[in-house]
Amino acid sequence: MMEISSKEFGERFRREITDRTMELSEDFLELPLDALTESEILKEVPIVKTFLALFKAGVAYRERAFIKKILKFLVAYNSGNVDHDRLLEFKSAFQLDNKYRDKVLDFLLIEIDRIGTEEKSQVLAKLFVSYLNGFISWEYFVHLSICLEQLHPISYSYLNRLSRKDFVIKKRYPMHEGLLIAAGLGMRNEEVFEVYQLGRDLYRFGLAELVLGFEL
């Protein structure tokens, strides 16, 4: 197998982010981790091929999980609608500003590696699309991503429930409230529990399209 460096993997990821050409069915992403790196079709996906070459001595469980999160991120990212002019502006900045390019790529790859679930990589992609569209700043994207990293998955559907109540609720749900408080997304003030703006925007720009309904 060919020799390859982590720098080359970063370059492949950069191309996927700027070109948005990867076409991959969600069905392939439902493969178990053990089968993921054995799929002949997935092996021909450029970023998977590059990643497998990088770990030519053998792909451990964590590396397989990372591949799957990368693919989940890219599929969700490619399915998002990015304004044409803003995408061109983003591509131009990538080509001309090495510091900006490295900042974006480093953060995305580190965050994808750190977040615990495949679903979170999809939410991260939705947040990134919102950044590209100018709905949020880079700094705010980073803040929301850190909150996402800390958020327990059980809270996704609870936020969905709260979104139908303007993110304020009187009835107490101690476990759900505690998890949102731990993620820095809300607090209880006397008679009501209220979600902070960070939590509202995490739902609006990231979770809203992905969560299922949650009835209490």
In 3D space, the residue among 100, 98, 128 whose CA is nearest the CA of residue 112 turns out to be: 128
| C-alpha torsion sign, points 76, 81, 86, 91 | positive
Ramachandran class of 94: left when φ > 0, alpha when ψ lies in -120 to 50, beta otherwise:
alpha
pLDDT > 60? residue 34 = no
Q: Which residues, 6 or more positions from 35, have their beta carbon under 8 angstroms from its beta carbon?
A: none
What tens digit of pLDDT does each residue of 132-191 get?
999 999 999 999 999 999 999 999 989 999 999 999 999 999 999 999 999 999 999 889
pLDDT > 70? residue 210 = yes
pTM value?
A: 0.82
State whether residue 128 is helix, strand or coil. Answer: helix
Residue 82, phi then psi, degrees to nearest 5: -110, 130
pLDDT > 80? residue 26 = no
Residue 163 Cα distances to 79, 89, 95, 169, 199, angstroms: 24, 33, 39, 10, 10
Residues facing residue 188 across a β-bridge = 193
Domain extents for the chain? 6-136, 155-207
Q: Which residues, 6 or more positions from 203, have their beta carbon under 8 angstroms from its beta carbon?
A: 159, 160, 163, 167, 195, 211
| Residue with token string 């739902």 | 203
**Both structure tokens of 50:** 């590059």
What tens digit of pLDDT does each residue of 194-203 get?
999 999 999 9
How does residue 70 score in pLDDT terms, banded at 50, 70 and 90? confident
* 27/121 Cα distance (integer angstroms): 17
